[in-house]
Every structure is written in C-alpha cells, then in structure tokens.
C-alpha cells in the first residue's frame, strides 16, 4: 500500500537529522514528551531556498543579489514561503522506518513509502495487522511491539500466537517454545 500525498506545497529545503536538544519537546506523531538530551528526529522543511521578494526584485538581481530590495527584506524579514518543523521520538521514528522498509519491499519509493508526518495514529487496526505481518516477513519482530495497538496486550498476543521463542522486549514476555506458527484463520 503506497501512500499518495496531496500536499499544498513542496519543500526546496529539507533537513532531516537525528539529534538531541537541551529543551523538552513533544513528539509530532504520538504526542509523548521528548526529554532533554533524549535522541529524536528533527525535520525542517522550507518551500523556497531563496527569499521570494528578493528573487522578484529587479534592482536586487541587477546588483548581483547582494542587497535586498524590499523594505521587509532590508529589515531581515525574508519570505521563504511555507515552513514545517517537527520532532519525532525514537519509538515513532523506529516505527516510521519499519513502515518505510515494508513499503519499499512492496515496491513503493520515496515519499510514497511513508505516511505523512503526524498520520501514523490515523491508520486503522486492519492496516496495523497488515504491517505486523509485513514486519514479521522482513524479520522486524521488535518493531511489531511498536505498533500502536488499541490494547497493549494485542501485540503480545500476536507474538505469542505466531512467533515461538521470541522474547518481546517491549512487553517483557517470552513467546512459549512450541507455539504453532501462523496462528489460525
């Protein structure tokens, strides 16, 4: 299932880094607190690389772009168009990475291999069940525990039913040896 996005604008400038920060933040995906110095993903996007007013000013272009022509630009108030910035906790970042890997294995590429930022909690239970199966096929068993199941026991039950001998770090349970693979239909 590729994700097809209908954005109002596209970014000419994009930064996407793993970082830490001295200040606390809120995860854009799950709204959990990101504590100071806790590793997280920071995403910044900007519609235009250059100021739109400066680019459109013929005097500025004739002077080689060294002196912004508009009063706003001279005051340091450049217009780069739309911007977007978010921070994503490590847990949600790992889940987004697993989704990306699963979608790329199915042939999706680029932005269509990942939901738009802030939308992983919008996916319904059937989609998450499909991802659990895809993650298992790809050997991403630890990522199954990251899925935002409505009931935390659902992930542990799914692992117990389908993957014998697997230790689920997230829930601290071992899947019993001898459990039948594949479960029931």
Q: Is 182 left (phi over 0), alpha (psi -120 to 50) or beta?
A: left
| Residues 15/18/23/25 CA torsion (nearest 10 deg) | 80
Please write the tens of the pLDDT for every residue from 13-24. 999 999 999 999
Cα 75 from Cα 154, distance rounded (Å)? 56
Please write the tens of the pLDDT for every residue from 45-79. 999 988 887 776 655 555 545 555 567 777 778 88
pTM across the whole model: 0.71
Cα 141 from Cα 143, distance rounded (Å)? 5
**The pLDDT of residue 156:** 59
Q: For residue 99, what are the CA distances in angstroms to 34, 67, 80, 146, 151?
A: 21, 46, 31, 11, 20
Written as one string, the DSSP assignment of 89-104 is EHHHHHHHHHHHHHHH
Please write the tens of the pLDDT for every residue from 91-123. 999 999 999 999 999 999 988 999 989 888 888
């Amino acid at each position: 299932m590729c994700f097809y996005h209908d954005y109002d604008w596209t970014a000419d400038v994009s930064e996407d880094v793993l970082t830490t920060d001295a200040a606390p933040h809120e995860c854009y995906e799950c709204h959990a607190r990101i504590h100071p110095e806790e590793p997280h993903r920071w995403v910044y996007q900007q519609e235009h690389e250059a100021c739109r007013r400066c680019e459109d000013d013929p005097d500025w272009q004739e002077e080689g772009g060294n002196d912004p022509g508009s009063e706003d630009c001279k005051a340091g108030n450049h217009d780069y168009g739309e911007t977007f910035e978010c921070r994503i906790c490590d847990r949600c970042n790992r889940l987004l990475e697993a989704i990306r890997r699963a979608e790329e294995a199915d042939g999706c590429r680029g932005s269509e291999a990942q939901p738009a930022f802030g939308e992983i909690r919008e996916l319904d239970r059937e989609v998450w069940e499909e991802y659990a199966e895809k993650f298992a096929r790809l050997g991403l068993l630890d990522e199954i525990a990251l899925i935002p199941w409505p009931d935390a026991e659902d992930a542990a039950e799914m692992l117990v039913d389908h993957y014998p001998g697997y230790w689920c770090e997230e829930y601290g349970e071992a899947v019993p040896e001898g459990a039948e693979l594949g479960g029931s239909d």
